[in-house]
């Protein structure tokens, strides 16, 4: 999977830079999402792995996408076909979304708690995280009773583990050392 991400990143970056330059980010996001869905279709996937020439492959793919792609999107598909990268479209779409979130200064934060948090607690947490991360925060909440109490917060590479379960494990390790 990381290999596909590595392959997809430069294409996503090029598409994103073009979209920013032309103030067309939302349209490019929609086009890439649609093309990514087309690329994972079983019938299209079998066409992608066939021995069709790149030009014919691009023609088939653009034909399937129809009016969902503008001229620039169609050209992008042709470039991907020439480089045998149409199967990477779902990853290109994901990477594009990552670039957009970074551009918009947004971040998804996973919050796992032992019990469901109240809206007041979520508002306070969101405000504190926005201040700490200097980004707009979108909380994705989960409940895991195994935590006993407390929360685990994951924002990108940052992990804040304030669960009682984790503290008990650290205490146990310290006592055994």
> For every residue of 97-142, which 3-state class applies, written as one string?
HHHHHHHCCEEEEEEEECCCCCHHHHHHHHHHHHHHHCCEEEEEEE
Q: Which residues, in sequence order, are CB contacts of 165 under 8 Å at separation 6+?
A: 146, 147, 148, 150
pLDDT the model gives residue 1:
47
Residue 110 backbone dihedrals phi, psi, to 5 degrees: -85, 125
Largest pairwise CA distance in the chain = 67
End-to-end CA distance of the chain: 38
- CATH number corresponding to 105-176: 3.40.30
Task: Express each pLDDT in 45-65 by its tens digit.
Answer: 777 777 677 787 888 878 888
pLDDT the model gives residue 2:
58
Q: Which residues in the chain show pLDDT less than 50?
A: 1
Q: What is the mean pLDDT of the chain?
A: 85
Domain ranges of the chain: 2-102, 105-176
Residue where the block lists tokens 């994103």 = 16
pLDDT the model gives residue 164:
80
- pTM (global) more than 0.85: no
CATH class assigned to 2-102: mainly alpha
Alpha-carbon span 104 to 107, nearest angstrom: 9
């Amino acid at each position: 999977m990381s290999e596909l991400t590595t392959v997809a990143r430069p294409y996503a970056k090029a598409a994103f830079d073009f979209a920013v330059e032309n103030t067309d980010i939302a349209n490019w996001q929609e086009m890439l999402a649609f093309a990514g869905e087309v690329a994972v279709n079983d019938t299209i996937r079998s066409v992608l792995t066939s021995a069709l020439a790149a030009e014919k492959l691009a023609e088939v793919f653009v034909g399937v996408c129809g009016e969902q792609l503008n001229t620039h999107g169609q050209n992008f598909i042709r470039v991907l076909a020439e480089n045998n990268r149409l199967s990477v479209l779902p990853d290109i779409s994901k990477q594009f979304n990552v670039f957009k979130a970074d551009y918009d200064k947004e971040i998804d934060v996973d919050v796992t708690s032992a019990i469901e948090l109240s809206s007041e607690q979520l508002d306070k947490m969101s405000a504190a995280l926005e201040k700490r991360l200097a980004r707009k925060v979108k909380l994705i909440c989960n409940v895991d009773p195994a935590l006993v109490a407390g929360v685990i917060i994951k924002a990108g590479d940052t992990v804040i583990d304030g669960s009682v379960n984790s503290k008990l494990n650290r205490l146990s390790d310290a006592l055994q050392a």
